[in-house]
Amino acid sequence: MEYSKTILITGGAGFIGSHVIRLMVNKYPNYRIVNFDKLTYAGNLKNLTDVENAPNYAFVKGDICNREDLKNAFEQYKVSDVIHLAAESHVDRSIEGPMEFVMTNVVGTVNLLQQAKDSWTGDNHVFHHVSTDEVYGSLGAEGLFEETTSYDPRSPYSASKASSDHFVRAFYHTYGLPVKMSNCSNNYGSHHFPEKLIPLMINNIVHKKPLPIYGKGDNIRDWLWVVDHASAIDTIFHGGRIGESYNVGGLNEWTNLDLVKYLCRLMDQKLGRSEGESEELITYVTDRAGHDMRYAIDASKLESELNWRPSVTFEEGLDLTVDWYLANSEWIEEITSGSYKAYYESMYENR
């Protein structure tokens, strides 16, 4: 079959990447979707069992830090477009070991930009870089991150993502590479690795394990359902202007403590436990170093220019998410049975 585009999606076996792959494979049978992923601890091909046999889907095991891997994939598949999600994504891991974040998020991104620049001629290409609201730093009680907010990254993770954003813009201004960028708030949903707040809490509630809240639990995050992030990426990839960045979020701020308490009540109902049972598991632990206080996104540019909106409320999205975890216990058991145990002990034991 002659495909109208061949999109290389990096990090497609991860949490958000697998949702972007699912959307693209199903919605665009005339595109070939190539999932390029190193399969780190965070990459899992079981996230994609429903699309793995689709005729327009292919998987390449490769590392964005390896130029040969990238060159081979671009040549073999005649890649016309890129959606770049591959990254080290967990702030706590970046505090323990920043260098891996520099290698994947900065060096890997520059490799990928260089490969696209070397491979592409003409106008008919898009390099969509997926980034985070954490590049803007930390908010006080008021205000929202806008696309024009100055960069002020404060963790090794966000510093590496900010650096990657700067390189993407540099390739646009210097070489005319046709880039688009998006900066999204915290995602939640199915297939989320249980090192992040929501899936970690769901898993611990199920197993009646302590629920570790950093500090006082008053830090604020702005949550968006991962399927809505995937739809925003689709919208920006197709309709966004070259050289522009778009903030993605759903005006949905929660303190960590309120969110965990809500999750406890929801899961007590679903698991047939008595009211308040899971809340008793809440345990306050030593705060994250340099913990950003508040994130909140102004997505009005994306809404007014491209008519994008979230499709569900937080309550609806969280309900679907908890149901998915309860129905897919083998997925989470497989993930938490291996090296996760050592990770969990090193991060939470004696904290």
Letters for 177-196 (x = contact with ligand DAU by CB under 6 A, - = none) are: --------xx---------x
Q: Is 97 helix (H, G, I), strand (E, B) or coil?
A: coil
Query: Does 240 interact with ligand NAD (rule: CB under 6 A)?
Result: no
Q: Shortest gap between Cβ of 181 and ligand NAD (angstroms)?
A: 11
Q: Which stretch binds ligand DAU (CB under 6 A): 18-26, 67-75, 129-137, 231-239?
A: 129-137
Q: Shortest gap between Cβ of 192 and ligand DAU (angstroms)?
A: 9
Nearer to ligand DAU, 20 or 79 (CB): 20
Task: Provide the token pair at 218.
Answer: 């008053």
Nearest to 293 by CA among 96, 136, 98, 132: 136
- Whether the CA torsion 98, 165, 167, 79 is positive or negative: it is positive
Binding test (CB under 6 A) with ligand DAU, winner from 104, 138, 203, 219: 219
Q: Which does 166 bind (CB under 5 to 8 A by kind): ligand NAD, ligand DAU, none?
A: none
Nearest to 89 by CA among 191, 168, 19, 186: 186
Among 88, 133, 195, 228, the one annotated catalytic: 133
Letters for 119-148 (x = contact with ligand NAD by CB under 6 A, - = none) are: -----------x-x----------------
55, with CB counted inside 10 A (0-12, 13-18, 19+), is exposed
Letters for 292-331 (x = contact with ligand DAU by CB under 6 A, - = none) are: ---x------------------------------------
134 noted as active-site residue: yes
Contacts of 69-73 with CB under 8 Å at 24 or more apart are 69/36, 70/36, 70/111, 70/112, 70/115, 71/115, 73/8, 73/34, 73/36
Task: Provide the token pair at 327.
Answer: 């129905």
Nearest to 88 by CA among 171, 185, 8, 158: 158
Beta pairing class for 253-255 and 220-225: antiparallel
Q: Shortest gap between Cβ of 69 and ligand NAD (angstroms)?
A: 8
Rounded CA separation 291/91 (Å): 9
State the CB neighbour count (10 A cutoff) for residue 63: 20
Q: Which stretch binds ligand DAU (CB under 6 A): 144-152, 210-218, 229-237, 305-313?
A: 210-218
List active site positions: 133-134, 157
Residues that bind ligand DAU (CB under 6 A): 89-91, 132-134, 185-186, 196-197, 200, 212-214, 219, 221, 256, 288, 295
Residues that bind ligand NAD (CB under 6 A): 10-11, 13-17, 37-40, 42-43, 63-65, 85-87, 89, 104, 108, 130, 132, 161, 184, 186-187, 193
